[in-house]
Amino acid sequence: MSSWSDHSLKFAMQSAFGTPNTTDADFVAIDAEVPKVSFETQITEIETMTGIVGASPRRMVGSRRGKLTFKLPLEGYVEGYDPTAENPGGTPVGGEVVPLWQVLAGNAMGSNNSAIASMANFIRGLGLSTSEYTAGGMASGTASSIVCDNATASDKVDVGQLVVAATAADPLTPQIGFVKTKATQTLTLFEAAKNNVNDAAANLYGTSTAYMSDEVSSVHPVTFRWTGPNVALCYEPLDAICENIKGTWNVGEVPTVEFTYAFYDYRVNKLDGGLTVPTSYNEIPQIIGSVSGFATINGSQKCSLESCTWEWSATLRETKCHGAENGVSAVSVIKPRFKAGFSVLHDTTDAVFDAAGSAANVGQHVYQSALELGTRVSIGAYVGTQYGKIWSMLIPSAQIVAVPQVTLRDDEVAYTVELEAGSYTADSTDTAETTANSPIDSIARISLG
């Protein structure tokens, strides 16, 4: 007898909803906490006349479904990543460059899902937007721009992507930012980077970006295997679709991410249990200044931020079908939303605006004014000084969606602010990238470098 006290969580992309993946070689293990699994079965109770006092009423048992949640610290690229020899989305030297959590996030958010035709494509990150390494690709720059050597270098970077530049002589102070415009080999960043490289010897490094797109309609369902140490210990949640992703970006903490999937059938599989060692990936460092950590509100570095979160969520709409294996023939992902939240102290320098949105001494605090007038707010977070350990998040145009509540944080007045990504169309390019194949004009982005 073997008890189930150790765990692995593996997944594989399905070719279609209703077609579980049964190819053992496709399954890859993710290095996360033990999953929380909730099984649901439709049960209808009918008080029939049993003829016996106190006898239990009849229960009619219907279809199966459930929820699966798992959490992990944010990972960067594969351990031993060599940016000069392998690119995210390209053929790796060893393990796949892009970590599995970003692959899953990109699939959920839409990204470029139509580019994925197989499990091999899926875990390579072909649905993400990726850039390539260019040795000495920078000609000059400022904190807000990078001038590339030539079109060969600039064409490797799409508008909307994260761009990373650094010199071999000073690799621990990279310039990190999202490209807003591209014109004649000049990459203008959405907001000024913490570091200004400005060196003709600087290299441009490969990045990967998961982003909101309308290809959320082409999300790929996955089969999970939750397994124990014996071949007979395996549960398979099938037809799993992500409905929620929660991330953190708190100062002094390693950022984390948590996924919640809805699955539409499940079964025990006594043939495919057993533990699997996940591929090792670099851990994203704690967000502090010594590793180029900083956060921005409306393009300016902002201090006193706490309880910092980002969240992607969507509504799952089922198509019920009598002839489907478990009564559901398809699931559509609708109303996707990307949210952020934080707590921030009230400061004497905080702006106050009148009813017309003009600066005033008497009126509404900047966040209350933004709620009432619909003023857009950008939010950015950045960290990392080593290639393969860089993470960034950007919402270029967010709307405050709830009344900023006043709270006391250690006896100091603070505001709790909740926002959602809104429409955004300010990116521009002079090359071929479009919203169909890149993050240009995307309303939310999660990137690695």
Coil, strand or helix: which one is 173? coil
- List, in order, residues 6 or more apart from 50 with CB less than 8 Å away: 56, 57
User: Please, which residues have CB within 8 angstroms of residue 432's CB and are 6 or more apart in sequence?
Assistant: none
Q: How far is it, in rounded angstroms, from Cα 403 to Cα 299?
A: 22
In angstroms, the CA 405 to CA 400 distance is 12
Distance between CA atoms of residues 4 and 140, nearest Å: 58
Q: What's phi and psi for 367, nearest 5 deg?
A: -80, -35
Check: CB of residue 98 under 8 Å from CB of residue 129. Answer: no
Look at residue 1 in the predicted model and tell me its pLDDT.
64
Tokens of 203: 């290299």
Phi, psi dihedrals of residue 141, rounded to the nearest 5°: 170, 175
Q: How many Cβ atoms are within 10 Å of 220's Cβ, its own excluded?
A: 20
What whole-number distance in Å separates Cα of residue 359 and Cα of residue 355? 10
**pLDDT for res 207:** 98
What does the angle CA 105 – CA 107 – CA 113 come to, to the nearest 5 degrees?
145
At position 347, the amino acid (one-letter code) is D
DSSP state of 298: T
Pairing verdict, β 391-400 and 300-301 = unpaired
Query: What element of type H or E holds 83?
Result: none
Asked if residues 421 and 444 have their Cβ atoms less than 8 Å apart, the reply is yes
| Spacing of C-alpha 93 from chain mean position | 25
Check: pTM over 0.85? Answer yes or no: yes
* Cβ 191 vs Cβ 296: under 8 Å: yes
* pLDDT value of residue 43: 85
What does the domain layout of the chain look like in residue ranges? 8-44+59-131+210-448, 138-209
C-alpha pair distances (Å), 262 with each of 13, 36, 221, 223 = 15, 12, 10, 11
CA 148 – CA 156 distance, rounded (Å) = 10
Which stretches of the chain score pLDDT less than 50? none
Let me know how long the chain is.
449
Residue-level pLDDT at 325: 86
Q: How far apart are CA 403 and CA 394, in angstroms?
A: 22
Q: What is the pLDDT of residue 196?
A: 96
- Residue 255, token pair as written in the block: 């950022």
Q: What's the pLDDT score for residue 190?
A: 98
Find all residues with CB under 8 Å of 226, minimum gap 6, and list them: 7, 8, 9, 35, 37, 68, 234, 235, 236, 237
The Cβ of residue 30 has, within 10 Å, a number of other Cβ atoms equal to 23
Q: Report residue 39 as tokens.
A: 């099984």
DSSP output for 106-169: HHHHBTTGGG--SHHHHHHTTTSEE---BTT-EEEEETTEEEESSHHHHTTS-TTSEEEEE-SS
